[in-house]
Copies of this chain bind each other. A is one copy, B any other.
Amino acid sequence: MKTSTEPDKTQCNAYIHAMEDALYVIGGKWKLRIIIALREGNKRFNEIQRAVSGISAKVLSAELKSLESNGLVTRNVLVDEFPVIVEYVLDDYSASLNGVLESLIDWGVGHRKKLADENQPK
């Protein structure tokens, strides 16, 4: 607690800072899309690449490592011989993102609806 005369400024910075923390982990073009793809079930590397259209193997590889290091995704090696088989699984911790995902998806749907209504006012 503080007795300063500018509590708002402090609050605002705290909010912005929390947002930065969040975006550092789940920001960027791909991370949330990958998580959404994995929500419909565990997937192999190439399956994710197909589900998240447009992502390259290099980027997908990097994103998965990042998600793994943040405890959101787990990498399971199913077969460790030549045609290696790997499966990616959402970690329990990823459930903590449900609120974020749902509100973002909802807002996206609503915003698209709003744009459509503005173009077809009737």
A interface residue numbers (CB < 8 A to B): 8-9, 11-12, 15-23, 25-27, 29, 32-33, 36-37, 39-41, 51-52, 71, 93, 96-97, 99-112, 114
Known A-B contacts: A19-B33, A22-B111. Give 10 more (CB < 8 A).
A12-B36, A12-B39, A18-B105, A19-B32, A19-B105, A19-B108, A20-B33, A22-B105, A23-B32, A96-B111
Minimal beta-carbon separation of A64 from chain B (angstroms): 16
A51 to B14, CA, bound (A): 11
CB-CB < 8 A to A19: which residues of B?
Answer: 32-33, 36, 101, 104-105, 108
Task: Please tell me which one of the listed residues B18, B32, B104, B110 contacts residue A108 in the complex, with CB atoms under 8 A apart.
Answer: B18
Majority SS at the chain A contact face: helix
A2 to chain B, nearest CB (A): 16
In the complex formed, the residue of B with least CB distance to A100 is B103
